[in-house]
Amino acid sequence: MDQQRSSLCVSLHNVEFAKDYHYFITVQLNVDGEKKRTDVSAQVAAPVFAASTFIIPLSNFKLDINDYLHFEAYVVTDREQGRGPDLDNQGQARLLGECILKLGDFTGPLTDISGTGVRQHLKFVRRNDKQVTVGRFIVNLKLVGEQIIPINDEKPLESDEIFQPLPASDPFMSFTWRLRVDIRACMDMPLHRDSHSGLPRGFVKLGWSQYDNQPPSEHHMHLTKIRDQNRHPIWNQQFLIPNPQTVTTLDGYLYLSLVDDIGQREIESVYFPISQMRPFQPMNFELQFKYAEYEARPRLYMSITLEMADKQKFLDELIDIIVKMVHYDPLPYASRTNLIMTLNQTKIKEVPYSVIDLKGAPTLAQALSNAQSDVFISSIMKIPPHKADKVYNAVAVFTLPKSQLESGIAFYLATRDDTIQSMHSMPNGIVGYSEIIDDWLRKLYYSKEKKQAFFPITWSDESKQRPLFMNSRCQVELTCMEAGDNPAISRVSSSKKSTRQVPRTPDMKALAENVSGADRSKWDILSKELSQKQEMIHRLMKEVDDKTESLKITGTEIVDLRRQVKLLQSENSILRKRLAHEESLEIQSIITKEIAVMSMEELRQKIIKVAQAYRNERVRNEEFEKALKTAQKDIASARQLEVELESLQRVHQENAKKMLVMQQEIQKVGVYKEAVKKQETVISKLEKLMETSLKDAQKARQAQLEVEQLKSENLNLQKQLKGIVYGEDIGELERYKQECQRLEKIVANMKEELRNKRPVSNSGADWEQDKMELEVKLHKANARIEALQDEMTYNAKNYAKEIAQLKLIIAEKQALLDSLTMGGQ
C-alpha cells in the first residue's frame, strides 16, 4: 500500500497577509527535497494562486516520521504593472516568513485508507529577535499514488459526470402544471458493509404520486445517474414532471427517494404535497433526513419550482429567459459557478438554501411554504460554460409568466467560497451581480427580430473570491421569447419553405415569357442576379462550414497536444525523480565498494578513529549539556530574581505614593491651624453679636410693651375724639383748650423772662431749679400740643371724608324721597 500511495498532495487555501503586495509561496519536503512554488499573485492582501496544488514524491517512496514540510512566503517588490501575468520574474523577491509542519504527527490520518486527509491552519512567522506572525493560510494534505495530474483547464471526465444536459420540453404538448426539479447534491450518505470499501452507490428516484405513502410505478419514475463509491455525490440533474392528463388541478404528491444501489437499499423517501406549492416561487432547500443509524444524517440539496399555464393559452402566457452564454475575458481562476436569477429586486450575498429537518419540522407543508422564495438557481456550470440546453443551444433557461417581466429581475454569479461555512462543495458565495434588466427583457421580448443582448457582471467588493475574477470581464448573453418558440422548429419550417420554392422556378419563367420585351429583359437581369447571389450565398455557407470544421479539428488537436505536453512534462519529472533516487543508491553502493576493498587492518583503524571521534564528540556533547543545564539554572534564578525585583519595585512604588500623600497631608496642617484660629476669632465675634442681639431683643420686647401701651392710649384718645365729634364731652374739650392757652401764655412769659434775663425769684438755686422744671413742663406741653394738633388734623380729615360720604347718602335718600312724593301726587 505504501508503494501505491508514494506521493503527498499539498494544496494551499485562504492565504492572508497584512498588506496589498505581490506574493508567492514555496513548499519543500525536508532539506534535500525539490522546492516547488506558486505563481506570483495580484497586488492583494488575500492572494489566490492558480498553481496552489502540488504532488511531492516521498523519500524512499514512503512516509517517514521525521519528514517535514518547509513553507516560505515571499513578497515581490518593484514589480512592473501592466506587463501581463506571465512575467513572474519581474521585480525583486524578499523572504517574508516561513513555516515548518512536521508530518510525523499526522502519520495515522494520512496513512488511513478511508480517511479524507489532513487540514491544518498554519502561520507564516518572521524569526528575528521575536517571532512575528506575518500571514496565515490553510493547507490540505493527502497521500496519493504516483500519478499524472490532469490538466486543470480540460476536465472531460468531470464534464461527463457532473455537467448534465437540461431536459427538453415538447412545445406542442400543453399542460396545466409541471414541476421543474433540480437534484443537486447529497452529503453524508450512510456507509454499508456489503462491499470492501463500504462506500455507497447513490442515486435518487422521483415521480408524481396521487396518494401519500404510495410510490408511483417504475415506468413513471425519473432516475438520476449513479455515483459510484461516493458519500458526497453531486448529480446536478434537472427533471420536468408534467401533470398527468387525467389530473388538471394541483393534486397529488412529488415522490422522492434516496437509494443506495448496492442491495437496492432505500435510505429514506419523502412525499411533497403539490397543493402547498405556489407557482413560480422556487423552493431551494437542504433536506435533512431522519436516518439516525449514524451521527451524520444525510442531507439532500435540491430545488423545486411549480410552473402553471392554461392549456389553450400556454404558448402566449409563459416566456423563456434564455442565457445563451456567459463570456469571460480572460478566463478566471475558478472551475464551477452558478447563475442565479432573482425577482422583486431581491438582494443576496450567499446562495440561499432553506433547511427542512424531517425530524424536527412540525409539518412538511409548513416547511415548504417557508422555503418559497424569488431566487432561481441554475445548474452547476463550468468555466467556460457548456451549452446544456439543446433546444435553445443555451447554458441555462428560466421560465416565467409574461406578467413578471416587470418584477425587478437581476442576475447573480456564484462560486465556491471556503470562507463561508457550508456543508456542501457546490458554489455558495456571490462573486458578481448585474443591474435590474426589466427594460431590456421587454425590448427583447417584443422585438420582431429575436436578438441577443449582453449584460455586464459587476464583481462584488465583499466577496473573498474577487481576486480570482477581478482581472476578467464577464458578460451574460441573454434573449427572451415565448415558451415553445423553438429555433429548431423554425429552422425546419424555413427549410420546408425553401424546398417548396424550388419547383416554382419554371412557373416564374413561364410568367416571364408572357411579359413584354422591356419587362422581359429586366426580369432576366433580376433572375440572373438572384441566381448569382444564391450561388454566392451557398458558396460562402459552404466555406464557413468548412472553416468551422477545420477550427474544430485544430481546436481538438491543440487540446490533445496540450494534454500530451502535460503528460510528457509529468513523465519527465517522474523520470528525473527516479534518476535522482538511483543516483543516491549508486553513491551508497560506491561507499560499500570502498569498504569492501579495504583490508581488515585499515578497516579496524578506521573504525577506531570513528569510535574515538564519536567518543570525543559524546564527551563534548556531555560538557555542552552540563553547560546548558547550568545556564538554564542561572536563567531560572535570574528570572526568579527579576520577578522578585519587579514585586519589590511595585511595593516601593506603592509606598512612595503613600509617602507622597502623607507629605501632602502634613503640608496642609499649617493651613488647618490658621483656619482654626480664624474660626475662633469668628466664634468670639459671633458670641458678642449674640449677646448684643439678646440685649436688643430684650429692649425690643420693652419697646413693644411701650408701643402696646401707646396703642391703647391712642385708642382711648380716638374714642374720646369720636365722642367729641359727635357732641360728647364738649366741656372737657373747652377746658383742654383753656389749659392749652394758659400754658401757651406761661410759655410766652417764660420766654420773655429768659430773653430779658430777669430772674423771678431772689435765690439763684431756686431759680435754676424752677427753670429746669419749667423747661421740662414746656417740652412736655409742646409735645402734647403737637400730638393733639396732629390728631385733630388727622381726625378732621377723616371726619370730613365721612361727612362728605354721609352727605352723599343723604342726598341720594332725599332724591329718592322727592321722587316718591312726586309719584304720589
What is the full DSSP assignment across 157-203? HHHHHT--PPPPP-TT---SEEEEEEEEEEE-PPP-SSSSS----EE
Residue found under cell 498553481: 51
Q: In angstroms, what is the C-alpha Rg of the chain?
A: 59
Report the predicted TM-score, pTM, of the whole model to 2 decimal places.
0.46
470 C-beta neighbours (distance < 10 Å), count: 15
- In this structure, the dihedral spanned by the alpha carbons of residues 188, 189, 192 and 197, taken in order and rounded to 10 degrees, is -70
Question: Using CA atoms, how far apart are residues 262 and 203, in angstroms rounded to an integer?
Answer: 11
Q: Which residue has the cell 435518487?
A: 204
Residues of the chain with pLDDT under 70: 1-5, 60-61, 79-90, 113-115, 129, 145-161, 170-174, 291-296, 310-316, 361-362, 484-520, 587-594, 596, 707, 714, 718, 720-734, 736, 754, 757-771, 822-825
Which cell is 188 given? 453524508
| Beta strand spans in 85-213 (E) | 92-102, 118-127, 131-144, 177-187, 202-209
Cα gap 41→467, rounded to integer Å: 9
**What is the Cα–Cα distance from 776 to 743, expressed in whole angstroms?**
13
E strand or H helix at 116: none
Given 3-state DSSP classes, what are the helix, strand and coil percentages for the chain, each rounded to the nearest 5? 45, 25, 30
> In whole angstroms, what separates CA 27 from the centre of its chain?
34
In the numeric block, which cell numbers belong to residue 609? 578513529
What distance in Å separates the CA atoms of residue 825 and residue 821, rounded to the nearest whole number?
Answer: 6
DSSP code for 162: T
> Cβ-count burial of 480 within 10 angstroms (0-12 exposed, 13-18 middle, 19+ buried)?
buried
- Listing DSSP states for 443-502 in one string gives HHHH-SS---EEEE-EEPTT-TTHHHHTTSEEEEEEEEEETT--HHHHHHHHHHHHHHHG
The pLDDT of residue 27 is 93
Beta bridge partners of 257: 205, 269
Q: What's residue 237's pLDDT?
A: 92
- % of the chain residues with pLDDT over 90: 15
- How far is residue 738 from each of residues 599, 717, 741, 751, measured CA to CA in Å? 181, 19, 5, 20
SS3 244: coil
Beta carbons within 8 Å of 25's beta carbon, 6+ residues apart: 12, 15, 37, 38, 49, 71, 72, 73, 74, 137
| pLDDT confidence of residue 766 | 59
Q: Is 14 helix (H, G, I), strand (E, B) or coil?
A: strand
The pLDDT score that the predictor gives to residue 254 is 93
Which residue's C-alpha cell is 400730638? 787
Joined together, the cell numbers standing for residue 509 give 419563367
| Greatest Cα-to-Cα distance within the chain, rounded to the nearest angstrom | 195
Contact call for residues 410 and 341 (beta carbons, < 8 A): yes
pLDDT at 219: 81
Q: Contact 467/44 with Cβ under 8 angstroms? A: yes
How many helices (H) and strands (E) the chain has is answered by: 12, 27
What is the end-to-end Cα distance of the chain in Å, rounded?
157
Residue 357, H or E segment: strand 354-357
Question: Which three three-digit cell numbers place residue 378?
Answer: 441554475
- The position carrying cell 520577578 is 643
Task: Give the burial class of 784: count Cβ atoms within 10 A of its Cβ; 0-12 exposed, 13-18 middle, 19 or more buried.
Answer: middle
Helix or strand (DSSP H, E) at 328: strand 318-329
d(CA 753, CA 776): 16
Sequence-distant (6+) residues with CB within 8 A of 242 are 173, 175, 177, 178
Selection from 179, 344, 168, 143 nearest residue 276 by Cα: 179
Q: From 722, 716, 728, select the one nearest 792 (Cα to Cα).
A: 722
At 474 the pLDDT is 92
- Assigned C-alpha cell, 613: 571521534
Angle between helices 730-756 and 600-725 (to 10 degrees): 100
For residues 291 and 268, give the distance between their C-alpha atoms in angstroms, rounded to a whole number: 7
Please give the pLDDT value at position 593.
63
Encode pLDDT of 768-787 as tens digits: 666 677 777 777 777 777 88
- Closest listed residue to residue 96, CA positions, set 119, 77, 121: 77
Are residues 784 and 744 in contact, defined by beta-carbon separation less than 8 angstroms? no
3-state secondary structure of 19: coil
CA geometry: angle 287, 292, 298, nearest 5 deg: 35
Contact 287, 270 (CB under 8 A): yes
Calculate helix-pair angle for 730-756, 764-824, nearest 10 degrees.
150
Q: Is 798 exposed, middle or buried (0-12, 13-18, 19+ CB in 10 A)?
A: middle
Place of cell 483547464: 153
In sequence order, the 6+-apart residues with CB closer than 8 A to the CB of 328 are 383, 384, 472, 473, 474
Q: Are 98 and 71 in contact (CB under 8 A)?
A: yes
Burial code (b: 16+ CB inside 10 Å, e: under 16) for 186-195 equals: bbbbbbeeee
Phi and psi angles of residue 451, each rounded to the nearest 5 degrees, phi first: -110, 175
In degrees rounded to 5, what are phi and psi of residue 303? Answer: -140, 140
Q: How many CB atoms lie within 10 A of CB 297?
A: 18
Please give the Cα distance from 233 to 302 (Å, whole number): 13
Indicate the residue type of 108.
Answer: G
Query: Are 158 and 236 a contacting pair, CB within 8 Å?
Result: no
State pLDDT tens for residues 551-576: 888 888 888 788 888 888 888 888 88
